[in-house]
Amino acid sequence: MSNARTARLSRRGLLAAGGVLGLGAALAACGDDDAKSGGSGSKKDAGSGPWSFKDDRGTTVKLDKVPANIVAFTGVAAALFDYGIQVKGVFGPTETKDGKADVQAGDMDISKVTILGNVWDQFNVEKYATLAPDVLISTMFDDTGTLWYVPEASKDKIAKLAPSVGISVYDRQLTGPLQRMWELAESLGGDMKAAKATDAKKRFEAASERLRKAVKANPGIKVMAGSASQEIFYVSGTNLSIDLEYFKALGVDFVEPPEKAKAEGGGWFESLSWENVDKYAADIIMMDDRTSAIQPADISEATWKKLPAVKAGQVIPRSAEPILSYDKCAPVVERLAEAIEKAKKVS
């Protein structure tokens, strides 16, 4: 899903796709692995300097001091928080309607950050300026350098207030963006030798090996990645999505909509009516867990309830926009590994 391209597929469409971005995000796209990645900055304490970081657009941001006033997309802020970096402001899904932290906010205390926008195309530029930002950081879901959740209409005004850093999550495996976020956090003063960081990385590596073994031990299990809206069920292909590309590399057998069927979704997903939700056979269904998507427990469609995987209770959450810290990605891999280990062939 790429915002710039599909766009007017609509950035909003991308979100909706259930593809990499999922239901409200059908627009973004990401990049390749280490070969496409830029270099990282050197570790410094916040406020010391100088500081530089080469992002995935190939742009090197140079500052006299390590950024202290950081503003970031919510998911990026959540990842940095896991590495001990506290941002000042966020934009993107942060707070739910009942005032709780959105799933994309991770472990952040959202009462301690200034929320500049909580939904698509919402970004308070005036409030952003009052934060005296040193840098703005976001992910990128396409190969044109479009910063996720930075509104097209106000991007030029936003760009004038502080330099930006983009981490690509387009068309590459999960391990690439995870490493890039690690490098960014280290450059911002994160203690990457702390037990929390190193233990989480080991846990992720162990989970990945567990998933690889699970696939071999229970062959033939077909997995479908989906996202639900009121009228449409989105089926994601593995191409472009960092999590699905990685799982596929570990041997997971996914439902793969044909390229022609995904064309309307910018290559990310195929859109199905609820009447046709049984088009593909699957033993496990991974469902988009973002608040922009309808969750499995709230789906009332009879066709959904008749699906073999649903009847067998083989439906698990999918983090369509993974928080890029090992602490948050390890459980994601473990969850799929466990589901495959226990899955029965029902399709």
- Asked if omega into 50 is within 30° of 0 (cis), the reply is yes
Distance, in Å, from the CA atom of 16 to the CA atom of 152, rounded to the nearest integer, reads 18
Q: What pLDDT is attached to residue 96?
A: 97
Helices (H), the chain: 3-15, 74-82, 125-130, 155-161, 175-187, 195-217, 242-249, 259-262, 302-305, 308-311, 326-342
Q: Which residue is it, tokens 């596929």?
A: 248
Summary count for the chain: helices (H), strands (E): 11, 15
Distance, in Å, from the CA atom of 262 to the CA atom of 98, rounded to the nearest integer, reads 35
Q: What pLDDT is attached to residue 26?
A: 39
Q: 3-state secondary structure string, 143-211?
A: CCCCCCCCCHHHHHHHHHHCCEEEEECCCCCCHHHHHHHHHHHHHCCCCCCCHHHHHHHHHHHHHHHHH
Distance, in Å, from the CA atom of 228 to the CA atom of 289, rounded to the nearest integer, reads 10
Distance, in Å, from the CA atom of 280 to the CA atom of 267, rounded to the nearest integer, reads 18
Reading the block at residue 244, the tokens are 């699905």
Biggest CA pair distance of the chain: 60
Q: What pLDDT is attached to residue 48?
A: 73
Phi, psi of 62 (to 5 degrees): -120, 130
CB-CB contact of 41 with 30 (8 Å)? no
Distance, in Å, from the CA atom of 236 to the CA atom of 134, rounded to the nearest integer, reads 37
Reading the block at residue 251, the tokens are 């041997």
pLDDT along the chain (347 residues), means of 10: 37 45 38 37 62 98 98 98 98 97 98 98 98 98 97 98 98 98 98 98 98 98 98 97 98 97 94 98 98 97 98 98 98 98 97
CA dihedral defined by 131, 136, 139, 145, rounded to 10 degrees?
Answer: 140
Q: What pLDDT is attached to residue 5?
A: 35
Non-local CB neighbours of 288 within 8 Å, separated by 6+ positions: 18, 22, 23, 225, 226, 227, 228, 234, 318, 320
Question: SS3 for 72?
Answer: strand
Q: What pLDDT is attached to residue 44?
A: 55
Q: What pLDDT is attached to residue 17?
A: 43
